[in-house]
Amino acid sequence: MTHTIRRAGLAATLAGALAVATACSSEGGQQAQEQAVEKPELDVALITHAVPGDTFWDIVRAGAEDAAAKSNINLQYHGDPEVREQANLVDNAIDQGVDGIALTLATPEGLEDAVQRANDAGIPVVGLNSGIEDWEELGVLQYFGTDEALAGTAFGERLSEETDAEKTLCVIQEQGHVALETRCGSLADAFDGDTEKLYVDGSDMPSVQSGIQAKLQEDSEIDYVVTLGAPYAMTALDSVNGAGSDATVATFDLNTEAAEAIKDGDIEFAVDQQPYLQGYLAIDSFWLYAHNGNYSGGGEEPVLTGPAFVDSENIDEIAEFAAEGTR
């Protein structure tokens, strides 16, 4: 669908924030006019499907907060893994009269009505992180994230071409999450060996560890454990040790601990989607939209932040940023 500019009210915000300053010269009575453009003050809500304790969302939030500080944006951050609560948070932001809503779309069908209500209220919605196949149909203005199908395919191809893997266990920490399902599905399609899914409760790390460990003890043919988030990769390492398995761990996403594990050779590699960049671009896009009517991708194409491999060849450079909490 073709997107049109939905936030006419932001033009008024911008007009009130533009100041023309006239500087007078004391020599010869010459006057010079300088046009100074101030950044409009905006209120933006960032609403994610964050599971408590998942460090991935700390990185997204860090990027969002840095963009907000730069662009004179008052940022409200909220996260909840339940789609009904996400919809309620959208409604709360609408009631507060925010100038924009940045929203993850892990369960698109559960957020369709909430997005429509925001659009009806004249509030632009920007998508990030999840929902790359659905954002345009939902009426979201622009989207920032990785191509999950491409990431999963690249992961499966690498397992086939560069490892001796024959059977992988793909661990999904949130059942029904479209991006996670796409990762595992695309990996399985591209991988020459067998892939089995294991669903775990990502909010309960002890049960994640015991679930992976039990599966490894049950099936000794599993030689690769693939996790879909860095914290779960670290837990998978404990599961492998607890099961007495020789399985190798590789993962999607990155954090400080996973970066160190790659340096130490404990994790084979990670696929990075640059969550800091997702948060930063999503929030900064509201200033560009208010200031100049810009929206990335022409309103019809996503802005990709990944995927990219992080392994022993490039980890030394990236680990420096991971230590700062931005990769």
d(CA 140, CA 136): 6
User: Could you tell me the two tokens for 253?
Assistant: 């996403």
Four-point Cα dihedral 217, 218, 224, 229, nearest 10: -80
Residue 96, pLDDT > 60, answer: yes
What does the pLDDT read at residue 176?
85
What does the pLDDT read at residue 73?
98
Q: What percent of the chain has pLDDT over 90?
A: 84
d(CA 102, CA 48): 8
Cis peptide before 307 (omega within 30 of 0): yes
pLDDT digits (tens, 9 = 90+) for 287-308: 999 999 999 998 899 999 999 9
Residue 135, pLDDT > 80, answer: yes
End-to-end CA distance of the chain: 33
Residue 31, pLDDT > 70, answer: no
Q: What's the CATH fold of domain 9-146+275-305?
A: Rossmann fold (3.40.50)
Residue 306's closest CA among 122, 132, 53?
Answer: 132
Residue 89, pLDDT > 90, answer: yes
Q: What is the mean pLDDT of the chain?
A: 89
> What residue segments make up the domains of the chain, in order of their start?
9-146+275-305, 148-272
What does the pLDDT read at residue 38?
66
pLDDT digits (tens, 9 = 90+) for 168-189: 999 999 988 889 999 999 999 9
148-272 and 9-146+275-305 share a CATH fold:
yes
Q: What's the CATH fold of domain 148-272?
A: Rossmann fold (3.40.50)
User: If you ran DSSP here, which 8-state letter would residue 96 be given?
Assistant: T
pLDDT band at 37 (very low <50, low <70, confident <90, very high): low
pTM for the model: 0.83
Residue 13, pLDDT > 90, answer: no
Return the SS3 of 269.
strand
